[in-house]
Amino acid sequence: MSMTFAETLYKGYAQTIALDGPVLADERSRFQHIRIFDSPLNGRVLVLDGIVQLTDRDESSYSEMLSHVPMIEHGAVKRAMIVGGGDGAIAEEVLKHKDVERVDLVDIDDRVIALSKIHFEHVSGAAFADPRLTVRAEDAFPYLKAAETAGRYDLIVADRPDPVGPAEVLFADEFYSVVSRALAPGGFALFQTGVPHYQAGELTQTVSQLSSAFKNVGVFLTVTPTYIGGHMGLTWASNDSRLGTLDHDAIAARFEAKDFPTDYYSPAVHRAAFALPPWIARLVPGKNR
Amino acid sequence: MSMTFAETLYKGYAQTIALDGPVLADERSRFQHIRIFDSPLNGRVLVLDGIVQLTDRDESSYSEMLSHVPMIEHGAVKRAMIVGGGDGAIAEEVLKHKDVERVDLVDIDDRVIALSKIHFEHVSGAAFADPRLTVRAEDAFPYLKAAETAGRYDLIVADRPDPVGPAEVLFADEFYSVVSRALAPGGFALFQTGVPHYQAGELTQTVSQLSSAFKNVGVFLTVTPTYIGGHMGLTWASNDSRLGTLDHDAIAARFEAKDFPTDYYSPAVHRAAFALPPWIARLVPGKNR
């Protein structure tokens, strides 16, 4: 019997992925329905609550852009936090930067972490064994609210799923406030803000909400094929810095000094990511375009 | 009864599109199976032989990039030819340039042209009524082979479908030779070269073939959500010019003088399109990266 997974993210439009071999994991955790399987064209796939979260073949377009773009522009990220990200993909990219001293990964679901360690070792690489990484299986919201995180992080990446189920709280005004409070001077917070072609409202609303919690906000783009619908919006926020200001040569000099390979990120791709097609720019409220 | 269209382009991966209302056209022409329908998330959809060719909501990302990028860089396109393009989407963009004197649209299938005039009038705009446009329902290959087309065109856009069915001949070495011969000095030929994420071989092979027929060849990118799989490769070829050489300010000055609105194209997007992610650059043979 051949099996096919049909994504349930949208009404009236879907991607379907044939399975190649048996289902590797199919488990209802306390928070969500976790499925992992192999596929002929997309490699290994992680699905949460019916929505594709990660595939082998295109995760670099997401994890590299959410980490290297802000880290290269910041120039001296020492402490980073990942909200969610239990698969380890972003942690791996952040830890490629040798001057990073500490990464706190806070994912609410210990089962996503445990299953990813088994089935996505090739995606997380050396991350989970890196002594600079601390993994906490807990709710990121109270974690960030605690007094001791104030001003702690140079980088916070909200690797959040779509705004349904357990992640809904990660799209609330109060969440943005606690993220803002946890940033160190010069720090950047990054948020995936959906696929504008099918989730236009998510980009507009998130930028608008972030503008209340942060001084500076802006949008850049990546293209992750299985986040179906073309471009994905990535939104940055900061209280005292701006992203997208470095020119190509400065980016290239900093990246060259880093000395690690990438699949999606390059200095040219970094600059290019800030060029929004007019139809996307029109979704970004006012001064943040 | 609710109906859903499932694309048949790939084995093991597909997009499915729910229909919104009745099928508007479902007809087998001498060359292919033509279907047109409305959908809730993608607007009106044109399907040929089971493969999405055009939707209302994202056609600008394809038609604007295949026309404005080469036309802005060329600077003085007077005569243009469109191979295929019976829907009129690219013709409309080319004709937005007021200094264009003549556009020859050569599509093998008069039924695609006739049905598009009825159902995609909002996409072709004023194109089919423009006296500068000549429409020929014939095979583009012998048309280009005829002696009188030698050196005729400043721009040739091969708006070809995937290399199956009637379009297969548009991927042969001999086709590239006749296109090369039909270019005027300084002219550019443009080819859609598939979605690298799922059709990596098509990009590599087309660039390699084009390198035999033209002096200069290169790749830039667009993102058309319903050409499923993220980036689409667009390949340019010329015997005496290069694309991707103008800087942002020069592009912006030329585009501003054109004075027409766009949805996807902008001077910044034009420059950004030449930034290939490393995984795509590795698919482009040698000197053409």
Q: Map B179-196 to HEC letters.
A: HHHHEEEEEEEEEECCCC
- Is the CB of A229 inside 8 Å of chain B's CB atoms? yes
Residue of A nearest to B12 (CA): A18
| pLDDT tens-digit readout, B94-104 | 999 999 999 99
Q: Which residues of B touch A230 (CB under 8 A)?
A: 58, 61, 223-225, 230
Which superfamily is assigned to A4-55 in CATH? Spermidine synthase, tetramerisation domain (2.30.140.10)
A159 is catalytic: yes
Of A17, A228, A279, the CB nearest to B264: A279
| pLDDT tens-digit readout, B113-146 | 999 999 999 999 999 999 999 999 999 999 999 9
Q: Which residues of B touch A195 (CB under 8 A)?
A: 225
- Is the CB of B3 inside 8 Å of chain A's CB atoms? no
| pLDDT tens-digit readout, A156-169 | 999 987 777 777 87
Contact A278 B272 (CB under 8 A): no
Contact A12 B41 (CB under 8 A): yes
Taking residues B59-88, report their average pLDDT.
98
pLDDT in the model for residue A170: 80
Provide the residue ranges of all domains of chain B, joining segments of one domain with +.
4-55, 59-288
Lowest mean pLDDT among A164-173, A253-262, B10-19: A164-173
Nearest-angstrom CA–CA distance, A257 and A243:
20
- Is the CB of A278 inside 8 Å of chain B's CB atoms? yes
| pTM for this entry | 0.96
Note the CATH number of domain A59-288.
3.40.50.150
Give A209 to chain B, closest Cα distance, Å.
Answer: 26
pLDDT in the model for residue A160: 85
